[in-house]
Chain A
Amino acid sequence: MIEVEDVWKSFDDGKIQVLKGVSLTVERGELLALCGTSGCGKSTLLSLIAGLESSDRGRIVIDGRERATEAERVSLLRREIGFVFQLHHLMPDLTLAENCLIPVIAVGTSMAQAKIRMTELAELTGVGHRLDRPVRELSGGERQRGALVRALMNDPQILLADEPTGALDEENREIVFQLLLDLTRKNGKTLIMATHDQEMASRCDRVLRMRDGAIIAS
């Protein structure tokens, strides 16, 4: 379970207040959509949950534990959270397989087992035949599916997705979103997805709307 309690976040020495006392709870296995216009604080909230940034005030508790130290945050990103961005953020000169194995290097687990898991995930997402290709040779849809594989490599319980289909064409948008839903639902994972797309949001278990750094409706 993820508990966000009265979280505040500002940038530029407090001049830009991005989050203003956000509170929410996400149950284990729940698929939550965060909707709102650009700049409303969706991405910042996801970054805070992932431990990529620290809040100014409030606390975030994941499975009963607050992750305050650097080591705890690293552990969170290694084992418990996978992150998918609007842009794939894969390294273009590396092969898709090399990109997907980066989280495994971070953890230092068995490479042989990781490769089996990578192949399974890549087959599921339809990029199994592209693993040996450099990312620069892949299409936009393939890259985003590759990013999804990378996010799931260490089998995290929580998947955070920040506009995961925002940079894709309509056909790929549907493919990637459906994969996201399937892979999380079937495996009982928790998904928090920031999106503009009302139709996609409506296919999640719950939708929260944000405006000006606060949750305004569910």
Chain B
Amino acid sequence: MHLLRLVFINLRRHRVRTVIGAAGIALGVATMLSVVGLLGGAVKMFERILRSDAEMVVFEKNVSDLFFSNVDVAIADELAKQPFIKSVQPVLFSIVATPDRPVVTCFGIRPEDGRLQKGTWLQGTAENFRHDSEGIVLGERAADFLKVKAGEKVALGQHSYPVIGIVQLENGFENGGVFMPLTLCQKAFRKEGFASILSVALATGHEPKAVKDWVNQHQPRLTALENDEFSKSYSQFKILKTTAWVVGGCAFLLGGLSVTNTMILSVFSRIKELAITRVCGFSRTQVVTMIFGESVLVSLLGMLLGWLLSFSGLWILREVPALQGYIEPRIGWQELLGALALAAITAILGAIYPAWYAARLKPASALRYE
């Protein structure tokens, strides 16, 4: 029997306390991973909307939200003529309410935009989606919640539009969105001649710098960023990611308090036992190691349970029909390592006071303790 075995035995002896401590950590980990995973997934989904076969995004400088960005579509046509450009697709984003849904995202795109071609057309065909079309295409999920089929009309904001097609799209936001021909979208939202962003694909062999230079020179009101640059600098993404980690971290700290509580209870309820280990020859270091070992094991157990809980919870959310396509959690190794690091920190911080207290115990006095 070694010290580690004794640590296991101590945790086994106080199963309820161990489980409560681990449950606190598990809930903290699960909350953190779920919040980070869900918001991270949402950010990734939005990033993919912007990318859509393009390497760069051009939008209005210093806007806090792309929905407020206004880029003259004529610039797209001008930029598209440059030799370093393969294609430029203007996209207008807007949000509209329906009687049942407070938020429906509208995408104003040109027929040449590849995103509708990538989907599976459930009703209608891509040929119906033309520049001059008055009809709209719905993502499959949008058609579900708006309860319309191709050929019917749907009320969006102030107007009604005929539905000319329904497309199943991989991206949750797009699958729950409404696609309008760009000109129709501009008219509907009184943004004639404007788009929110330009999605820019580079010609083979050309560097993003060429686009940046051109934009700086000809359109100083706009900014051109590579997709990764955009993801890192876009303030909405930053806010979402920071919020996710702060909320998750707070949840985790609450879990951490349960470990501290567990360890404090653990030490205070066995003062005599700890004194006996000292009488049996345990050094202060061994006592401290034992307390930290128990705390680390409780935290590890909690973290594993938390991983399990969060993966199960997110899987269930993803499978819920009402949320189909909207939930695309992303829990990568960074998030898992983040949870592991927080669990380790929690274990250590949670055990500092109990371990310090246990190490300071005077065996003779502790044995007289009632």
Contact = CB atoms under 8 A, between A and B. Distances in A.
Interface of A: 44, 47, 50, 52-53, 70-71, 74, 77-79, 83, 85, 89, 91, 93-94, 98, 101-107, 111, 150, 154
Given A103-B281, A106-B283, A107-B281, 11 more contacts: A47-B363, A50-B279, A74-B282, A77-B278, A94-B13, A98-B1, A101-B1, A102-B280, A103-B280, A105-B282, A111-B2
A73 to B, nearest CB: 9
B277 A102 contact: yes
B10 to A, nearest CB: 9
B265 interface: no
A50 B276 CA distance: 13
Nearest to B284: A70
A216 to B, nearest CB: 23
Interface in B47-101: none
A105 B363 contact: no
B280 A77 contact: yes
A74 B281 contact: yes
A98 B276 CA distance: 14
B286 interface: yes
Contacts of A89: 272, 276, 279, 367
B3 interface: yes
B267 to A, nearest CB: 14
8 contacts: A74-B282, A83-B279, A93-B13, A102-B280, A102-B282, A103-B280, A104-B1, A111-B1
B103 interface: no
Nearest to A85: B367
B283 A102 contact: no
Contacts of B362: 52-53
Interface residues of B, number: 24
A154 B364 contact: no
Interface string B354-370: 00000000111101000
A24 to B, nearest CB: 19
Specify the main secondary structure of chain B where it touches its partner. helix
Contacts, number: 65
Nearest to A80: B281
Interface of B: 1-3, 5-6, 9, 13, 272-273, 276-284, 286, 362-365, 367
A78 B281 contact: yes
Interface centre among B1, B273, B278 (most CB of A within 10 A): B1
Given A91-B273, A93-B13, A94-B13, A47 B280 contact: no
Contact of A106 (B9, B13, B277, B367): B277
A154 B281 CA distance: 10
Contacts of A106: 277, 280-283, 286
A105 B278 contact: no
A47 B276 contact: no
Nearest 7 interchain pairs by C-beta = A78-B281, A106-B281, A47-B364, A93-B13, A52-B364, A103-B280, A77-B281
A143 to B, nearest CB: 13
Contacts of B13: 91, 93-94
A91 B275 CA distance: 11
A47 to B, nearest CB: 4
Nearest to B286: A106
Contacts of A105: 1-3, 5-6, 282, 286
Contacts of A101: 1
A49 to B, nearest CB: 11
A203 B292 CA distance: 47
Contacts of B3: 105
A71 B279 CA distance: 13
Contacts of A44: 364
A83 B5 CA distance: 24
Nearest to A71: B283
A101 B3 CA distance: 11
A105 B286 CA distance: 10
A41 B212 CA distance: 88
A104 B279 CA distance: 12
Contacts of A85: 367
A104 to B, nearest CB: 7
Given A98-B1, A102-B6, A105-B2, A53 B283 contact: no
Contacts of A93: 13
